[in-house]
């Protein structure tokens, strides 16, 4: 317990850093994921191509490589931001590709006749998507979205290698102070467990309230 009690402030800062990364990156991933899912099923060919390219590139790019591209590449084009924002951008964009495919699978579960009925009533594609298709699609894919965001929380550990304050990065400070590395990682793992279990509980509640009964 000495590792935790003697360094509670260090652990707390790292824990809050990981929570912030997870919350902001999740918000970005959900927004981009919804947009890209809409692009993937849009009647405009250029939108579908853009969505497909987005998903293909990001899903097949290692997250560490994407971090390098964002952290080191964007400043060369004049975009200079705090490392925390770069980390949110990398994590959010990467995860959005997976959110997009999860939502697209949910969209495919919505009966096609509902879309045809809405068009016969004079509704536009965006109206049909926002009012009829996406609400039903989201309800059917709540569990996999939760699993994707849990993976995002764990992937945030990569940010520590890029001078971002997060939970895993606390081991460097504690190792330099001479603390037992095993117990250092035990408490780091406990912190991640708290975060992932919280996400799991939130999405379990959402599934019980809004999920589609199987």
**Residues 103-131: what's their mean pLDDT?**
81
Q: Which two tokens stand for residue 95?
A: 């995860």
Dist CA 194 CA 174 (whole Å): 21
pLDDT above 90 for 207: no
pLDDT band at 2 (very low <50, low <70, confident <90, very high): low
**Residues 108-135: what's their mean pLDDT?**
79
Is residue 149 within 8 Å of 143, Cβ to Cβ?
Answer: no
Q: Which two tokens stand for residue 55?
A: 């998903």
Q: Per-residue pLDDT tens for 168-202?
A: 888 777 776 666 777 788 888 889 999 999 999 99
The predicted structure's pLDDT at residue 146: 94
The predicted structure's pLDDT at residue 110: 82
Is residue 36 within 8 Å of 94, Cβ to Cβ?
Answer: no
The predicted structure's pLDDT at residue 130: 79
Is residue 105 within 8 Å of 74, Cβ to Cβ?
Answer: no
Dist CA 169 CA 163 (whole Å): 8
CB contact set of 167 (below 8 Å; sequence gap of 6+) = 11, 14, 15, 17, 18, 157, 160, 188, 191, 192
pLDDT above 80 for 214: no
Is residue 64 within 8 Å of 158, Cβ to Cβ?
Answer: yes
Least confident interval from 101-105, 130-134, 141-145: 130-134
pTM of the shown model: 0.88
The predicted structure's pLDDT at residue 28: 97
Q: Per-residue pLDDT tens for 50-61?
A: 999 999 999 999
Q: Per-residue pLDDT tens for 74-94?
A: 888 888 888 899 999 999 999
Q: Per-residue pLDDT tens for 27-41?
A: 999 999 999 999 998
């Amino acid at each position: 317990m000495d590792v935790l009690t003697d360094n509670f402030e260090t652990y707390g800062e790292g824990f809050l850093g990981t929570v912030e990364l997870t919350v902001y990156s999740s918000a970005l991933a959900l927004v981009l994921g919804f947009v890209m899912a809409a692009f993937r099923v849009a009647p405009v060919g250029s939108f579908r191509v853009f969505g497909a390219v987005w998903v293909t590139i990001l899903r097949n790019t290692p997250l560490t490589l994407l971090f390098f591209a964002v952290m080191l590449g964007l400043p060369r084009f004049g975009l200079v931001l705090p490392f925390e924002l770069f980390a949110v951008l990398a994590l959010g964009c990467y995860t959005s590709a997976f959110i997009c495919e999860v939502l697209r699978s949910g969209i495919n579960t919505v009966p096609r006749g509902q879309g045809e009925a809405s068009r016969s009533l004079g509704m536009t594609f965006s109206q049909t998507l926002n009012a009829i298709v996406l609400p039903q699609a989201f309800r059917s894919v709540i569990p996999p979205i939760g699993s994707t965001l849990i993976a995002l929380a764990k992937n945030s550990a990569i940010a520590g290698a890029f001078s971002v304050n997060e939970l895993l990065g606390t081991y460097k400070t504690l190792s330099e102070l001479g603390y037992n590395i095993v117990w250092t990682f035990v408490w780091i793992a406990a912190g991640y467990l708290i975060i992932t279990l919280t996400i799991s509980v939130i999405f379990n509640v959402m599934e019980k309230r809004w999920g589609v009964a199987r």
